[in-house]
A = this chain, B = another copy of it.
């Protein structure tokens, strides 16, 4: 009995890794259950003994992507001094640049975090929601320092706004859209944007 559970756990891990490799190479649209079954050497039906559906599989891959992003953000903020307003802006700049670098180096896996939609009628499970939300703590800490008078709900909104703004510059830039910031200028412009917002925040409301 223990052996069956262990084997299943090992197979599930292999399935998630195979899905991760496929998405990294071909994008979310290239993910087919049939290919995954071949890759891990099981029948098509056996996949659904390992995960409930493809949504769960994509969320498990996303979970691994978020864990690596979390590590990258932890590394980049560890070196920042936080005990001043300037330090807080520097931390925000470091976070934004790390986010851009991570997206560039994990393009398809990062895209998948935003492209994936649950099947009709399914909702994102609690564990996946909380994994996404917990990433905001990196942005919240410096924002709290820059806006000591703001309430927690105000800070939470500002955090989403700042994230969305940087995400927009990164996303259009990496998709190489006509109206985007050109690739060569991307890091510099992200830094400039966050510094402008930092200055605005230091001036107070």
Contact = CB atoms under 8 A, between A and B. Distances in A.
Contact of A179 (B163, B181, B199): B163
The copy count of this chain in the complex is 2
B164 A169 contact: yes
A44 interface: no
A201 interface: yes
B179 A160 contact: yes
A1 B76 CA distance: 69
Contacts of A167: 168, 172
Specify the main secondary structure of chain A where it touches its partner: helix
Contact of A166 (B129, B165, B198): B165
A192 B204 CA distance: 12
Interface of A: 114, 124, 129, 132-133, 135-136, 157-158, 160-169, 171-173, 177-182, 185, 189-190, 192-193, 195-201, 203
